[in-house]
Chain A
Amino acid sequence: QVQLVQSGAEVKKPGASVKVSCKASGYTFSNYYIHWVRQAPGQGLEWMGMINPTGGSTTYAQKFQGRVTMTRDTSTSTVYMESSSLKSEDTAVYYCARDHFGMGSYYYWGQGTLVTVSS
C-alpha cells in the first residue's frame, strides 16, 4: 500500500533552517510528483511547491521562492523540504502529498510534521 512517512516534529529559533523528510513506499517513486502543503494553526491549507522525482525539477509557489528548497534521494525514495530564514509565521504543520487519479487532487498524504519557530 502507498505510504508517505514524514520525519518528526521540530523546534527551531527564528533565522534557523529546517529540513523535513517524506519517505515514499508502495509504488514506483519516479512515477508521481510529490507536493508540499502547509497549514498554520487555525488556518487553511497552503501549497508550497512540488518536485518531480524523475530528474528532480522543482516548482515553488512565488511566496516561497528563494527560501524553500525541495530535493529527492532516489536511492531511498525520499523527498526533502528545506526552509531557511525561519520566522514565527512559519510555525505550521507541513505535509507531503501525492496525486492518484491524475486530476490534480491529493489522495495520499503524509502524517504531517509540526515545525515550531520560537525564540
Chain B
Amino acid sequence: SYVLTQPPSASVAPGQTARITCGGNNIGSKSVHWYQQKPGQAPVLVVYADSDRPSGIPERFSGSNSGNTATLTISRVEAGDEADYSCQVWDNSVDHPVFGGGTKLTVL
C-alpha cells in the first residue's frame, strides 16, 4: 500500500521558518492533509487539501504539494508550535487513509 515518509525530527529557532516534508510516490497527484498534535491531546487539522487552512488556524501555517514531496511550512515559529506534525492522504487503491510517521518539531 501507499507509504508516506517523514523525517522523525526537526528543529527551528523562534521567529524562523520551519519546513516539514512528507514524501510519497507521486504525492503531488493526491490531496495532502496535515495535523498538529501536542502531548496528551488529540490531533488538530492545520492544513487540508494541500494548502487550505481551517478557520482559526494562523496564516503562519501553509502547505504545498508537488512531485514526490508535500511540505508544511510554519512561518515566524513560536514556542507554542512545538508539537508532532503528521501528514495524511487517501489511498484510492485500497480506499482508506494513510498517515505519515510524524515529525517532532522542536523550537530551540
Using a CB–CB distance below 8 Å, which chain A residues touch chain B?
35, 37, 44-47, 49-50, 59, 61, 95, 100-101, 103-107, 109-112
A47 near B99: Cβ-Cβ < 8 Å: yes
Question: How long is the Cα–Cα vector from A103 to B85 in the complex, in angstroms?
Answer: 19
The residue in chain A whose Cβ has the minimal distance to the Cβ of B99 is A45
Q: In the bound complex, how far is the Cα of B83 from the Cα of A77, in angstroms? A: 32
Contact residues, B6-54 vs A (CB, 8 A): 31, 33, 35, 42-45, 48-49, 52, 54
Least CB distance, A93 to chain B, in whole angstroms: 9
CA separation between A16 and B20, bound complex, in Å? 40
A62 to chain B: closest CB distance in Å?
8
How many interface residues does chain B have, given as a range?
20 to 34
By the criterion CB–CB under 8 Å, are B98 and A47 in contact?
A: yes
Tell me the interface secondary structure of chain B in the complex: strand
B45 near A45 (CB under 8 angstroms)? no
Interface of A is mostly: loop
Q: Once the chains bind, are A45 and B102 in contact (CB under 8 Å)?
A: yes
Instruction: Choose among A95, A100, A104, A105 the residue that contacts B42 (Cβ–Cβ < 8 A).
Output: A95
B71 within 8 Å of A by Cβ?
A: no
Return chain B residues, CB-CB under 8 Å to A112: 42
The 9 tightest CB contacts between A and B, nearest first, are A105-B33, A104-B90, A109-B42, A105-B48, A45-B99, A44-B101, A44-B102, A103-B49, A47-B97
B12 to chain A, nearest CB (A): 21
Most buried by B among A44, A47, A105: A105
Assess the A111–B97 pair: CB atoms within 8 A. Answer: no
Residues in B neighbouring A44, C-beta threshold 8 A = 86, 99-102
The interface residues of chain B lying within 8 Å CB-to-CB of A111 are 42
Contact indicator A105/B88 (Cβ below 8 Å):
yes
A45-B43, A110-B42, A112-B42 as given contacts; A105 in contact with B49, CB under 8 Å: yes
- The 11 sampled A-B contact pairs (Cβ below 8 Å) are A35-B97, A44-B100, A44-B101, A100-B54, A101-B54, A103-B31, A104-B97, A105-B45, A105-B48, A106-B33, A106-B35
